[in-house]
């Protein structure tokens, strides 16, 4: 959520900034609500003050033996007026909160203009795509052998966009997850955490999934409302909701492996073949909670941590800076890492690393105590995939295939695979 003071001080600035996202901010409507809020708030305060004065007069009149009924009637009338004013104020504040919750984050100045992914900027590229002397198969054809990758069984058990992994491929995905966790904990200084896979509405509101993206969630329970997590970002970031963090404990660097559940409501017809876009998938998530002045550097660092996994696996990839129109709702700046998939002959996203600045922290009331002022201030939050396990599995399968359809295990994974070097 953006700072309400920005809207009061310069709503035209907000409107211009949000227009970069093609978001139409109705500054006139907001100004009308704000003016009405001020009027009702002043009226409420005046009524409260007047009621308190009349209440004191009742005590004085009673002590003098005077008739207090007129004063009692006046106080009761004011109490009714005050109740009506407080209800109106509450309604206006709810409308303003609802309006604010639907407004995306302001973009960092380094984010390029553009309406869609075609305007994203390539920052760097690493590794060489494999030069096969045969026609590369995609992961679907490679995994279909011996039903190691069984889409039909997944559909039978649950429905479309679910999968069953068997045998060596199930082990390969587990090996990838273990490599990621070990690297981020041992080499990058993250603390591993385990979190619930169901979260309440407050948690999703805190990180920005609610109310705007409810259609993309799987709701598991009505009363109380519980949702399956779309990413471990939600429960991990909510660990600091309504918390004032001691300055010495920053930065917080947390890594978490979890399943992720997404309805993909807005992705009808996209990536229907294979594992690219599933309702359930595995991911290792990186989350950092930092001081505001450190978030820019932390964003570069977190992205590099995700890149290390791709380099260990010797998977060719490129780093993309997302343009204004492709940057997510809560993010101020996002890098996407896109891995080369020979079976598709294209780069595909495997990690998205974002700096949210204080957008999530304001919703979460996640703060740190500044030792210079002694006062609580909002932290900055960041997260990124380190990496998406399913897509990494796909990348290994397609980049390490041979002419016979065998999959050779990257050197970094052989010990995690119990010495297996080839999936026959």
Say how far residue 345 (Cα) sits from the centre of its chain. 29
Name the binding residues: 231-233, 262-264, 285, 349-352, 383, 385
Beta bridge partners of 408: 422
8 A C-beta contact, residue 100 and residue 4: yes
Cα-Cα end-to-end distance for the chain: 51
Sheet order of strands, 333-341 included? 121-126, 317-321, 333-341, 346-357, 380-388, 280-290, 252-261, 191-192
Please state the residue numbers annotated as binding site for ATP: 262-264, 349-352
Angle at 301 between CA 333 and CA 368, to 5 degrees: 75
* E strand or H helix at 234: helix 233-237
Binding site members for L-serine: 231-233, 262, 285, 383, 385
Beta strands 333-341; 346-357: pairing state: antiparallel
Cβ-proximal residues to 158 (8 Å cutoff; 6+ apart), any chain: 279, 280
Q: Which residues contact 312 (CB under 8 A, 6 or more apart)?
A: 179, 183, 410, 412
Cβ count within 10 A of residue 274: 20
């Amino acid at each position: 959520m953006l700072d309400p003071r920005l809207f009061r001080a310069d709503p035209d600035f907000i409107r211009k900034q949000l227009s970069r996202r093609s978001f139409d901010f109705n500054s006139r409507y907001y100004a009308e609500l704000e003016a009405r809020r001020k009027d009702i708030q002043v009226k409420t305060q005046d009524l409260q003050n007047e009621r308190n004065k009349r209440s004191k007069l009742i005590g004085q009149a009673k002590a003098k033996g005077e008739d207090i009924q007129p004063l009692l009637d006046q106080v009761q009338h004011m109490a009714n007026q005050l109740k009506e004013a407080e209800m109106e104020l509450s309604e206006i504040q709810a409308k303003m909160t609802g309006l604010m919750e639907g407004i995306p984050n302001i973009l960092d100045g380094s984010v390029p203009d553009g309406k869609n992914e075609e305007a994203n900027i390539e920052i760097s590229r690493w590794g060489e795509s494999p030069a096969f002397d045969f026609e590369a198969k995609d992961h679907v054809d490679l995994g279909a052998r011996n039903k190691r990758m069984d889409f039909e069984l997944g559909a039978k058990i649950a429905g479309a966009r679910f999968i069953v992994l068997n045998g060596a491929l199930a082990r390969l995905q587990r090996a990838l997850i273990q490599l990621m966790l070990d690297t981020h904990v041992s080499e990058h200084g993250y603390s591993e955490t385990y979190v619930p896979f169901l979260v309440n509405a407050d948690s999703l509101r805190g990180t920005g999934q609610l109310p705007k993206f409810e259609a993309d969630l799987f709701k598991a329970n009505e009363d109380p409302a519980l949702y399956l997590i779309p990413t471990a970002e939600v429960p991990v970031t909510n660990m600091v909701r309504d918390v004032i963090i001691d300055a010495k404990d920053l930065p917080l660097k947390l890594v978490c492996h979890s399943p992720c559940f997404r309805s993909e409501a807005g992705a009808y017809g996209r990536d229907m073949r294979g594992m690219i876009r599933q309702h359930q998938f595995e991911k290792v998530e990186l989350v950092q909670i930092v001081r505001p002045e450190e978030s820019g550097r932390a964003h570069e660092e977190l992205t590099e941590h995700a890149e290390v996994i791709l380099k260990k696996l010797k998977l060719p990839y490129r780093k993309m800076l997302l343009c204004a129109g492709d940057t997510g709702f809560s993010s101020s700046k996002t890098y996407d890492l896109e891995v080369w998939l020979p079976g598709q002959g294209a780069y595909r996203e495997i990690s998205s690393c974002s700096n949210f600045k204080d957008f999530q922290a304001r919703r979460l009331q996640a703060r740190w105590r500044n030792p210079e002022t002694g006062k609580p201030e909002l932290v900055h939050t960041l997260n990124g995939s380190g990496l998406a396990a399913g897509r990494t599995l796909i990348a290994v399968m397609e980049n390490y295939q041979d002419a016979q359809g065998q999959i050779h295990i990257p050197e970094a994974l052989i010990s995690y695979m119990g010495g297996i070097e080839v999936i026959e």
